[in-house]
Structure 1
């Protein structure tokens, strides 16, 4: 690889970045790592301490926060490499760097599959019957879904290097613990990662939210039509004195056929409130998914187009998503918002 020979730009030891750029990345990643670990740790503690948050959907939310914490911890091993000017990795052994690279790639891949699980969970909950949802989301099946979301990325990241396709370790071009771009089959390894980690879960996410959008649109259209029909059935005003009917009598002693009882009215109000709450949760989690896809797409676009010179810029966007998620929960999620705000004010409750 031929590097620029302009003497006004100082490239270190075969890297694709100048020393000021590497210092910028080391500081930027350090800030993002600290924010991601703190924010996602708060989410994990909130679920552990609050019974209301311990539900099926939040199993995947917890897994997502765990992947963000682990990927941040794994990339922490790359920060000294970017900041230093040594030819190779700082430590004598490359094993920690190889392990850190594997952890980062596996955790990020698990994040994508976890977001697909979240999208599918909301889709089944909103568009299918309660019986279908309860049949699909049993404790054993949920555990299997979480296991698969870790197993697929692990196989896609670890198996190819063991087969001689690509390698993990200290990459001299980016000075990070990553996949080694100087490996003879690095391009094949990049394509394997893309094929395993991105298209399938992205397709599940897109289809799930399209189905949710269609269902919600149909639901509100039907409710609007029902309201219009009820209004059209109201009797027109007349100058004549209306005949006395049952509507002017005291209804406390008996309930007329077809009229909603107070108990039924209260139940309908409760169901309506729960439905609106589920829509709000789905909307909040859609924002989480959308933010991750936006942050995740640049780096994978660079992988496909072989734009190695800008990989670290794309990685900054990717790690920003780990910081954004807790903020989204705290800002809009109807269950997480009060808990996280109470925790910040040191008034967390177990209720």
Structure 2
């Protein structure tokens, strides 16, 4: 039915130039994200140093980010549509919206699992593959994460809480504005992600408390040794032997492997960036009503799928070395062909 000039029924849309800007940024994200996350996966597979239990979860995180980046070209198609409809069959748009939520939920759940593994390894002084810290157990965790993420994406729409499809105002494949319960679904999704972030920060808080307690015990131990007579030869010999044991198989804080702490710091940076990218933009999604800031907030959310490989390249020496080796290996055949 056509709308009359006196009583227009056509839903408003965000100005086309804003959608072009967002589409352009998403196109860049697609290229960088697919390249960077694929590089992370290849690096872990081909580099022996990177084949650790924690990096199984890092690969899962990269795969989820790759999935999100793979859906961006379909979002770009919707953003650039000027017909008021999705240019590809609507079912594709619904799938793209579902993939977007699934990847974000999977990323958040994977960060919880990484935080738990870091806490378990450091507080239990785990060396190598022991207890829960084995590839088989972590593979089970990865399977559970994907099952949970898919279920949380499917169940609400099946129950009528929100409908996945084309949101004309934004030009995005997400929850449509035709279902009155769409806002409930948005709040539910946000609650899932925020709960995951709270759990993640809880594990890192426990890690920090554990390290601080061991630091205090370490300082108190050597303060007591010094007070009981560090000037005597026997005390000096005792201090020397304790210093030697500190370097070889040391107690207290040295029992916490420094390498494990560095890995934990790097992963914590990933967690913080995820929080900044998601929480900062999710406020716009939770507040009722449509706004231009929500569209740009979506860009901030999707940027999280791009930054993780950059962090690994800058902060993790083993990843940095693996990236250089992989890229140089690909460059040499091209140089030979040109010569």
Normalised to the residue count of structure 2, the TM-score between the two structures is 0.84
1:55 paired to 2:59: no
> After the TM superposition, which residues 263-278 of structure 1 pair with which residues of structure 2 at under 5 Å, given as runs?
267-268=248-249, 272=254, 275-278=257-260
1:293 paired to 2:272: no
Which structure's CA Rg is the greater one? 1
Aligned partner (choices 4, 29, 33) of residue 32 of structure 1: 29
1:321 paired to 2:304: yes
Structure 2: distance between partners of 1:339 and 1:140: 25
* CA drift at 1:229: 4.0
Provide the residue aligned with 2:219 in structure 1: 224
Between the two proteins, the alignment pairs up a number of residues equal to 320
Q: Is the 8 A contact 1:171 1:178 kept in 2?
A: yes
Structure 2: distance between partners of 1:259 and 1:96: 69
CA gap of 1:159–1:246, structure 2 versus 1, over 3 A, is closer
Provide the residue aligned with 2:263 in structure 1: 281
Structure 2: distance between partners of 1:274 and 1:328: 24
Provide the residue aligned with 1:20 in structure 2: 17
**SS of corresponding position for 2:82:** coil
Provide the residue aligned with 2:113 in structure 1: 117
Residue segments in structure 2 that go unaligned for 5+ positions in a row: 1-9, 332-339
Structure 2: distance between partners of 1:151 and 1:219: 38
Q: Is the 8 A contact 1:44 1:62 kept in 2?
A: yes
Structure 1: distance between partners of 2:127 and 2:231: 41
Deviation track 1:216-245 (CA, whole Å, cap 9, x = no partner) reads 112222333334444444317xxxxxxxx8
CA gap of 1:274–1:192, structure 2 versus 1, over 3 A, is closer
Structure 1: distance between partners of 2:218 and 2:320: 29
CA gap of 1:261–1:126, structure 2 versus 1, over 3 A, is closer
Q: Is the 8 A contact 1:75 1:101 kept in 2?
A: no
CA gap of 1:311–1:262, structure 2 versus 1, over 3 A, is closer
CA gap of 1:15–1:333, structure 2 versus 1, over 3 A, is farther
CA gap of 1:142–1:162, structure 2 versus 1, over 3 A, is same
CA gap of 1:15–1:216, structure 2 versus 1, over 3 A, is farther
Residue segments in structure 1 that go unaligned for 5+ positions in a row: 1-12, 237-244, 248-255
* CA drift at 1:288: 0.5
Provide the residue aligned with 1:4 in structure 2: none
CA gap of 1:31–1:280, structure 2 versus 1, over 3 A, is same
Structure 2: distance between partners of 1:202 and 1:334: 26
Provide the residue aligned with 2:5 in structure 1: none
* CA drift at 1:31: 0.8
**SS of corresponding position for 1:79:** helix
Structure 2: distance between partners of 1:281 and 1:52: 13
* CA drift at 1:164: 1.9
* CA drift at 1:110: 0.5
Structure 2: distance between partners of 1:138 and 1:265: 28
CA RMSD of aligned residues (A): 3.1
Q: Is the 8 A contact 1:15 1:175 kept in 2?
A: no
Structure 1: distance between partners of 2:204 and 2:234: 48
* CA drift at 1:22: 0.6
Aligned partner (choices 142, 155, 159) of residue 159 of structure 1: 155
Provide the residue aligned with 2:74 in structure 1: 77
Q: Is the 8 A contact 1:68 1:322 kept in 2?
A: yes
Structure 1: distance between partners of 2:315 and 2:105: 26
**SS of corresponding position for 1:101:** helix
Mean Cα displacement is larger for which, 40-49 or 177-186? 177-186
Aligned partner (choices 133, 144, 148) of residue 148 of structure 1: 144
* CA drift at 1:25: 0.5
CA gap of 1:79–1:96, structure 2 versus 1, over 3 A, is same
Structure 1: distance between partners of 2:248 and 2:180: 66
Instruction: Kindly indicate which of the two structures has a greater share of residues assigned to helix.
Output: 2
Q: Is the 8 A contact 1:74 1:104 kept in 2?
A: yes
* CA drift at 1:179: 1.4
